Amino acid sequence: PRPPEEADVVVVGGGVVGWSVAYWLKVLEGWRHGMRVLVVERDPTYSQASTVLSVGGIRQQFSLPENIRMSRFSASFLRSINEHLGVPNEPPIDIQFQPSGYLFLAPPERAARLEATVRLQREEGVQVALLSPTQLKAKFPWIDTEGVAVASYGLEDEGWFDPWTLLNAFRCKATSLGVLSCSGEVRGFVTSSDGTVSLRGTALDTARIRYVNIHKPDSLDYQPVACAIVVNAAGAWAGELLERAGLPEKLCQPPLPIKPRKRYVYTWHCPNGPGLSCPLLIDTTGAYFRRDGIAGNYLGGMSPPEEEEPTTDDLSVDHDYFQEQVWPRLAQRVPAFASLHPRGSWAGFYDYNTFDCNGVLGPHPKLENLFLAAGFSGHGLQHAPAAGRAIAELVLKGHYETLDLRRLGCGRLAEGEPLREDGVV
């Protein structure tokens, strides 16, 4: 459908975070024919969307309290998903959750840090166990414990689920509540700052977005949409959106440090591999894997070092990376994987926050009616229910109510004070 000429809120990005924001706006608003919310998605097929190309994990094992609390909120939301996202006369939602937990392995030099992180997680109410190498071997006999000093194992609300089902559930429910959507790409903003000066004759340092220019697919034509609020949930392209929006440079400070980072996911078959109790394992080397269904199927990968980041021009896969980097690490940790049979692969984009690998949530410091919800660096899918509600609370009530996420705002970017998260996979 053609974009409307005006909307109260324009959500840029129709991934799971964007649709979560739209859903919570209508739920918290409380009346059906009120706020007009428009979701703009440039890839309506979702063939390159980060949401559906992820491995679908959810975990409580983070080192930052805000991330732990968002995961706990999201886990509770997913447990009762049909109460939230169920649509009358539609089949019940089944996200195919596999509660197999996450298993983090730490070498001796990182053991103390992992133990401190587990103490924090327990203080936040997370059910997590610390395992010695002996206990680890007893519980998972298929693991080679060489080089492992301690492991942490999630006992509750951890595992993986189907990303597409969650995205589609948010989209269908939000649409049933009156949210509008269109296919197109936001390439520019028209702001109130053009030629505006203060009473003292100096140029204003802040502005409001008055129009969002939505370019239609395969066309030079675009539709300006008048709006009161804009939410930047453009994922890996959230930073690029502000760079290309034609804004004065002073309004883009501090710059939004969110870039696309390509990550490979490989699938393989190993009939003698770990069984149904297999968790999502993160090795001491950074390589990870989990079951992919049953019958000896698995998937996994590994994030490369920063100096070896692949180009993001397309979603092609480097198969040599699996053969030379990922497979040897997996086979050393799980001896049965020495005889695995590669089956397939795909690539997807992380909305990577180069500043501190954590989401940027909250109002923009210079654009008064722009809210940010991006930069989750691989955690967006699992934190989407919490992040969407948080942004909706800011828009509708002017402050956080459910979770205090003020530390994830833009202030830390301007002050140069990163929030470190140890659990980046």
The tokens of 265 are what? Answer: 């996911």
What pLDDT score does 195 carry?
Answer: 45
**Domain contains 104:** yes
Tens of pLDDT along the chain (425 residues) come to 789 999 999 999 999 999 999 999 999 997 767 899 999 999 989 988 999 999 999 999 999 999 999 999 999 999 999 999 999 999 999 999 999 999 999 999 999 999 999 999 999 999 999 999 999 999 999 999 999 999 999 999 999 999 999 999 999 999 999 999 999 999 989 998 654 444 454 555 889 999 999 998 877 889 999 999 999 999 999 999 998 887 888 888 889 999 999 999 999 999 999 999 999 999 999 999 999 998 899 999 999 998 999 999 999 999 999 999 999 999 999 999 999 999 999 999 999 999 999 999 999 999 999 999 999 999 999 999 999 999 999 999 999 999 999 999 999 999 999 998 988 88
- CATH code, domain carrying 316: 3.30.9.10
User: What range does the domain containing 386 cover?
Assistant: 6-51+165-257+355-415
Residue 314 and residue 238 share a domain: no
Residue 70 lies in a domain: no
Query: DSSP code of 64?
Result: S
pLDDT at residue number 197: 43
The verdict on residue 72 lying in a domain is no
Q: Return the sign of the alpha-carbon dihedral for residues 266, 270, 273, 278.
A: positive
Q: Among the three residues 352, 373, 396, which one is the final residue of a domain in this structure?
A: 352
The count of domains in the chain is 2
> Is residue 275 located within the same domain as residue 411?
no
Chain Cα centroid distance, residue 136: 30
Predicted confidence at residue 254, as pLDDT, reads 86
Tokens of 104: 């983090």
- Asked if residue 338 and residue 310 are part of one domain, the reply reads yes
**Exposure of 383 by Cβ count < 10 A (0-12 exposed, 13-18 middle, 19+ buried)?**
buried
Separation of alpha carbons 142 and 305, rounded Å: 28
Residue that is last in its domain, among 352, 373, 391: 352
Residues 244 and 367 in one domain: yes
Asked whether residue 91 is domain-assigned, the answer is: no
**Domain termination site, one of 322, 352, 382:** 352
- Asked whether residue 285 falls in the same domain as residue 339, the answer is yes
125, amino acid identity? G
333/344 Cα distance (integer angstroms): 21
Domain check: are 169 and 251 in the same one?
yes
Q: Give Dmax over CA atoms of the chain in angstroms.
A: 76
In a domain, residue 326? The reply is yes
In whole angstroms, what is the distance from residue 66 CA to residue 420 CA?
Answer: 11
244 and 372 housed in the same domain: yes
Count other C-beta atoms under 10 Å from residue 309's C-beta.
14
| AA letter at 234 | A
Cβ burial of 142 (10 Å; 0-12, 13-18, 19+) is middle
pTM to 2 decimal places: 0.95
Ramachandran category for residue 393: left, alpha or beta (phi over 0 → left; psi -120 to 50 → alpha): alpha
319 in the same domain as 194: no
- Backbone φ and ψ for 52, nearest 5 degrees, come out as -80, -10
Q: Mark whether 169 and 253 lie in a shared domain.
A: yes
The CATH number of the domain holding residue 397 is 3.50.50.60
The two structure tokens encoding residue 24: 């919570």
CA distance 173 to 91: 12
Q: Check whether residue 130 and residue 246 sit in a common domain.
A: no
Q: Which residue has the tokens 């003698």?
A: 272
Tokens of 246: 């034609």
One domain, residues 184 and 303: no
The pLDDT value recorded for residue 203 is 53
DSSP states of 251-300:
GG-S---EEEEEEEEEEEE-TTS--TT--EEE-TTS-EEEE-SSSSEEEE
Residue in 291, 371, 379, 370 with CA at minimum distance from that of residue 334: 291
Residue 254: asked if its preceding bond is cis (omega within 30°), the reply is yes
